[in-house]
């Protein structure tokens, strides 16, 4: 595990996403939103900006961003949507697209996604289709979006039949991760985002996972370890995205826990009953337990994953999802809609141990169904 050095110009840590012909920077540090206007003016002189955000984020951060843009001579308009996963819908997409078009944003202008994963996915997808493509700057304000969804260019909305089934790859031209924004979040939101931090250790970096076992509470509480964890996560994702931008190979490893997790999210109605990171936490525990069930992973590693996620306050069992869920057959129907399904065959991200995830293709559906039934009974 390592982290980038601070930039001498901004005091921020900088992580480079080295895509061929389209590289971009991730800036990580406290207070960066107050200087985002200067960053955008240097990146795209003369551009106007459509700020896409939700009501909760607008109350906390929109004035800071608008003031910074104005000070840099940048005109802007805000498109404000309702908070929550249900906004990642066809109706939400229409609202954002029409707002951008009404603002007369041109192809050489920018869309600025100011918010968490929902806003980032929605604004990024809207930017990809308005005028056949407007560049997007991501300004993530949640831990989950800073370490995962703002980086790598995956954008999209949910279908009634499953999560993220409609979308496009649309890489940002800049990511500005203001870690001070995390101080305004409810504790549950921070814990939810932490699941994606733990994911990087569990899938490919045993040393990072060991560090998190010692420092995880500090990452969540807002100690000095938080910025280090954000930078380490971004470095891990940037390396994978640079190798496999459109998930034709090992980028699929980033979906550890997501096949089970997305099914649980859909089963919970994409509601506050189960946040995305909470679903991923349960999903990762299921992925490790299923790997152990198949004899692929030592049982003690599966237990270790569960114990750490429990220790930081994340759910680890299906029974911890409030309210009713579909029965096992209903969950299997949702799993069959997973984007990694190929010609009807299930693909899962499984593990041989901590930091040793791998892509398992042609996984037997009957085996998964039996495992899920046992987990629910337990």
Catalytic amino acids?
Answer: 132, 154, 196, 237, 247, 251, 255, 258, 262, 276
Picking from 100, 144, 147, the residue whose alpha carbon sits closest to that of residue 124 is 100
Q: Which long-range contacts (CB under 8 A, 24 or more apart) does 216-222 make?
A: 216/308, 216/311, 216/312, 217/311, 217/312, 219/194, 220/187, 220/190, 220/191, 220/194, 220/312, 220/313, 222/182, 222/183
**92: number of CA atoms within 13 Å, CB side?**
26
Provide CB contacts within 8 A for 221, sequence distance 6+.
none
Sequence-ordered list of residues with C-beta below 8 angstroms from that of 206, at least 6 positions apart, any chain: 353, 354, 355, 356
CA 228 – CA 176 distance, rounded (Å): 15
Three-state SS across 19-52? CCCCCEEEEEECCHHHHHHHHHHHHCCCCCEEEE
Angle at Cα 177 formed by Cα 176 and Cα 181, nearest 5°? Answer: 125
Q: Calculate helix-pair angle for 365-377, 276-293, nearest 10 degrees.
A: 110
Treating both helix axes as pointing N-terminal to C-terminal, what angle do 90-102 and 117-129 enclose, rounded to 10 degrees?
60
Task: Compute the radius of gyration of the chain from its Cα atoms.
Answer: 20
d(CA 258, CA 196): 10
The C-alpha angle with vertex 42 and arms to 39 and 48, in degrees rounded to 5, equals 85
Neighbour count for residue 260 (Cβ, 10 Å): 30
β-partners of residue 26 are: 15, 175
The Cα–Cα gap between 26 and 16 comes to 6
What separation in angstroms does the CA of 195 have from each of 32, 189, 190, 199, 318?
24, 10, 9, 6, 16
């Amino acid at each position: 595990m390592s982290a980038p050095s601070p930039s001498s110009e901004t005091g921020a840590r900088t992580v480079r996403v080295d895509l061929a012909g389209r590289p971009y920077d991730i800036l990580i540090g406290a207070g960066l939103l107050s200087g985002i206007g200067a960053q955008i003016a240097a990146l795209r002189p003369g551009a106007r900006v459509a700020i896409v955000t939700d009501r909760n984020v607008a109350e906390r951060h929109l004035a800071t961003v608008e003031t910074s843009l104005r000070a840099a001579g940048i005109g802007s308009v805000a498109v404000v949507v309702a908070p929550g996963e249900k906004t990642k819908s066809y109706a939400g997409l229409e609202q954002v697209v029409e707002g951008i078009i009404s603002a007369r944003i041109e192809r050489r202008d920018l869309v600025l996604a100011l918010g968490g994963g929902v806003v980032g996915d929605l604004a990024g997808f809207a930017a990809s289709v308005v005028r056949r493509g407007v560049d997007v700057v991501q300004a993530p304000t949640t831990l989950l979006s800073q370490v995962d969804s703002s980086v790598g260019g995956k954008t999209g909305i949910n279908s009634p039949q499953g999560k993220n089934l409609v979308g496009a790859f649309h890489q940002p031209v800049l990511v500005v991760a203001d870690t001070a924004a995390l101080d305004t979040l409810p504790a549950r939101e921070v814990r939810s985002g932490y699941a994606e931090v733990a994911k990087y250790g569990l899938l490919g970096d045993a040393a990072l996972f060991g560090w998190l076992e010692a420092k995880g509470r500090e990452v969540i509480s807002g100690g000095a370890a938080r910025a280090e964890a954000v930078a380490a996560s971004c470095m891990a994702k940037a390396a994978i995205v640079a190798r496999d931008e459109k998930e034709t190979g090992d980028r699929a490893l980033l979906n550890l826990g997501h096949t089970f997790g997305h099914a649980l999210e859909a089963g919970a109605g994409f509601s506050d009953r189960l946040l995305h990171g909470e679903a991923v936490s349960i999903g990762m525990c299921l992925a490790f337990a299923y790997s152990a069930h198949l004899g692929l992973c030592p049982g003690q590693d599966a237990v270790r994953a569960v114990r750490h996620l429990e220790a930081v306050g994340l759910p680890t069992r299906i029974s911890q999802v409030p309210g009713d869920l579909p029965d096992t057959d209903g969950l299997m129907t949702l799993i069959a809609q997973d984007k990694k399904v190929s010609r009807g065959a299930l693909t899962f991200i499984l593990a041989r141990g901590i930091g040793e995830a791998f892509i398992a293709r042609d996984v037997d559906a009957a085996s998964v169904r039996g495992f899920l039934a046992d987990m629910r009974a337990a």
